[in-house]
Structure 1
Amino acid sequence: MLGEVKPGELGFTQCHEHLLISKGKSFEINPALCMDEPDKSIQELKTYGAAGGRAVVDAQPGGCNRDAAGLEEISRKTGIHIIASTGFHKLQFYPEEHWIHTIHQKELEEFYISELVQGMCVSIDREWMPERIRAKAGIIKTALDVCDLRGRYGELFEAAAGAQKATGAPMMVHIEKGSAPEILTEFLQERGVDTGRVYFCHMDRACEKEESFLKILKAGITLEFDTIGRFKYHSDKEELELIKKILNWGFEEQLLFSLDTTQERLKAYNPKAVGLSYILETFLPAMRKCGITEEQIQKIAEENPQRIFAW
């Protein structure tokens, strides 16, 4: 948000969070998908920083209630690096009349590129590109829904793939349970996307097939696990077992972690929540206790983000 930094300065990084989301269609679907109090988000980031956190990827894309100016402000006030997103989310999070449904694929690609290299657009939750700020996006957010690449999603992914090839920017993909990430893997490879700059999110709860994990990893794509402290899905013990399986397969350089925070999971908004610092304060000790080495933790928390986010 505040300009380029050298990869080595990034530090401990959580690679899929939500720090600020304005009230919109997402809120109508789930009230937890609204964090619109900057002071609380600042408080959360300061606690994260005190625990050792240095960088966060905010996964809310432009046009889907992203607060770009707010992210710039909270980054400046906390000293935490925030990597913001351009791109698109699941279409259910947009109003029916939203431009995301109708804008031409090539224009969409140009929009993504412009947010990465010129600056992010603001006030675009309904209107099309009225103004731009200096702060740039650093990653392309995409979302694979249960319809996979059928319909409008195919065009959205074509635009994102074109933007990745044109800029070299990293790409994250929301993987919805019931979708087919293997199909998307082939799609991205066929279009010449740099799979070393791509990571699939939520794979620890969206996919249970070992053969799918292996196919995606062998294609060079990184897995981002964020079902940590999310006990409605599974325990941290089960999460650790899955992480150890990926490490034992030899893919320690293709693994990231995060919390995928909502209002319900940020302590500043909900005192009973696990909080943004949960990985640092609770999950890292559990990783060490179950035999994951410091070198492996260093790769997941720092070295892998440094490589993927450099472009």
Structure 2
Amino acid sequence: MTAVIRTVLGDIAPEELGVCDAHDHLFVRTPALPGQELDDDEAALAELTAFAALGGRAVVQWTPWGMGPRTEDLPGLSRRSGVHIISATGMHQARHYARGGLERVYDGLAGLFIRELTEGRVRAGMIKVAGAYHRLDDHARHVMTAAAEAHHATDAPIGVHLEAGTAAPDVLHFLCDTQGVPAQRVILGHLHRFPDPRIHQQAAEAGVFLAFDGPSRVHHAADSHLLDSLAALADTGHAEQILLGGDTVTPAARSAADGPGIPFLLGGLRPRIERELGPDIASAIFTDNPARAFAAHWQRP
């Protein structure tokens, strides 16, 4: 079976993905950020258009079930912008859902994830889960267990929100050792928020993909370590596991609102990476690695 990438317009060959923002949001809502919802179609289109003008060809939206992903609107945005979009199923931390909003699905999460990955007009291309700060709580274990079951049924990749970049070893142990998910099907997100080179190396040696996402937010002091973190991984032979994403989660973070937005990856970061780490590593990070990270030998239970 040939590996393909599941976009909102259908499955494509990995080599068709192109330059990719490996973790971002076009639409999202959460009680944790009241009044800061991303819910504007035209603003989302403007981000995609600006990204495409810089050579961007794909965006992976990590907005999971129940957080306003507006999945049904993504195909139209993809057609209008010419940018491939990969959507997510999965579940975030419990605090991102209204009180009492999880009960009706909580005991059937694996089935929910599988349906969103394999059924309907618009299908998800990945599963998003989340750890807690420096640990895995009961909610995280419950969701990750369901995500692992859905992975084994479909081969979908699993992207992990690491709260403040922490708990990577715990996530690896639980997903890979306990639940049997192959390391190369796991993407650890937000590693730049906890710029511990030993943790990064440990995760890289395990074989996972390492996502550095959300650069140049004002509140991220770890930005000054980003290039050093990427260089350290490249120097030890792990450049083929690095992914980059913008992780835009509020209207103020969009480029039209003077935030970095999705275009910053190519307009701001890519020239620095090409200059300091070389064009081959830049090409791996933005093109080759996402094509492997999000490709799957899709199965339908």
- Percent identical among aligned pairs is 31
1:215 aligns with 2:216: no
**2:221 match: secondary structure:** coil
User: Alpha-carbon deviation of 1:209?
Assistant: 2.8
**Structure 1's 179 and 228: CA in aligned 2 closer, same or farther, altered over 3 A?**
closer
Are 1:93 and 2:100 matched, yes or no? no
Per the alignment, residue 241 of structure 1 pairs with 228
Within the candidate set 193, 196, 207, 2:181 is matched to: 193
Compared with structure 1, are the counterparts of its residues 227 and 8 closer, same or farther at alpha carbon in structure 2 (3 Å cutoff)? same
Question: In structure 1, how many angstroms separate the alpha carbons of the residues matched to 2:242 and 2:83?
Answer: 22
| AA aligned opposite 1:112 | F
Which of 18, 23, 26 is the aligned partner of 2:25?
18
One-letter code aligned to 1:94: Y
3-state SS, counterpart of residue 66 of structure 1:
coil
Shift of 1:208: 3.4
In 1, Cα distance between the equivalents of 2:103 and 2:203?
28
Once residues 134 and 66 of structure 2 are traced to their aligned partners in structure 1, the CA distance between those partners, rounded to angstroms, is 21
2:106 maps to 1:118: no
**Local SS of the residue matching 1:137:** coil
User: Aligned pair 1:176/2:188, yes or no?
Assistant: no
Match of residue 150 from structure 2? 163
| Structure 1: gaps (5+ residues) | 120-133
- CA distance 1:177–1:228, change in 2 (3 Å): closer
SS at match of 1:25: coil
CA deviations 1:216-269 (Å, max 9, x no partner) are 11111111002422243237553111111111111011100011112222123x
For the Cα contact (< 8 Å) 1:168–1:194, is it kept in 2? no
1:135 Cα deviation after fit: 0.5
Q: Which residue of 2 aligns with 1:70?
A: 73
- Say which is worse superposed, 301-310 or 94-103, in terms of deviation: 94-103
Q: State the match for 1:298 in structure 2.
A: 283
In 2: Cα distance, 1:241 partner to 1:185 partner:
23
Separation in structure 1 between the aligned mates of residue 224 and residue 106 of structure 2, nearest angstrom:
45
Unaligned runs of 5+ in 2: 1-7, 297-301
CA distance in 1 between partners of 2:137 and 2:224 (Å): 36
How far, CA to CA, are the matches of 2:187 and 2:210 in structure 1? 5
Which residue of 2 is the match for residue 7 of structure 1? 14
2:47 is matched by which residue type in structure 1? E
Structure 1 residues 57-83: Cα deviation after superposition (integer angstroms, max 9, x where no partner): 001001122211122221122121110
Name the CA distance, whole Å, in 1 between partners of 2:259 and 2:170.
36
Q: Which moved more, 1:141-150 or 1:274-283?
A: 141-150
Change (3 A) 1:278 1:147: closer
Q: 1:297 to 1:39 in 2, by over 3 A?
A: same
Task: Tell me the CA shift for residue 24 of structure 1.
Answer: 4.9
Do residues 284 (structure 1) and 270 (structure 2) align? yes
Q: Is the 8 A contact 1:146 1:177 kept in 2?
A: yes
> Hey, what's the Cα distance between the residues in 2 that align with 1:282 and 1:36?
25
> What's the counterpart of residue 43 of structure 2?
40
Match of 2:138 among 119, 128, 151: 151
- Counterpart for residue 267 of structure 1: 255
In structure 1, what is the equivalent of residue 3 of structure 2?
A: none
SS in 2 for 1:257: strand
Asked if structure 2 preserves the Cα contact closer than 8 Å seen for 1:265 and 1:276, the reply is no
CA distance in structure 2 between the partners assigned to 1:228 and 1:193 by the alignment:
28
CA shift in 2, pair 1:174/1:51, >3 Å: same
Contact 1:198 1:221 (8 Å CA) reproduced? yes
TM-score by length of 1: 0.87
Contact map agreement 1:165 1:194 (CA 8 A) in 2? no
* SS of equivalent residue, structure 1 residue 177: helix
CA distance change for structure 1 residues 285 and 72 in 2, over 3 Å: closer, same or farther? same
Change beyond 3 A, Cα 1:176–1:24: closer
The structure with higher relative contact order (CA 8 Å, sep 6+) is 2
State the aligned residue count.
287
Asked if the contact 2:132/2:163 (under 8 Å) is kept, the reply is: yes
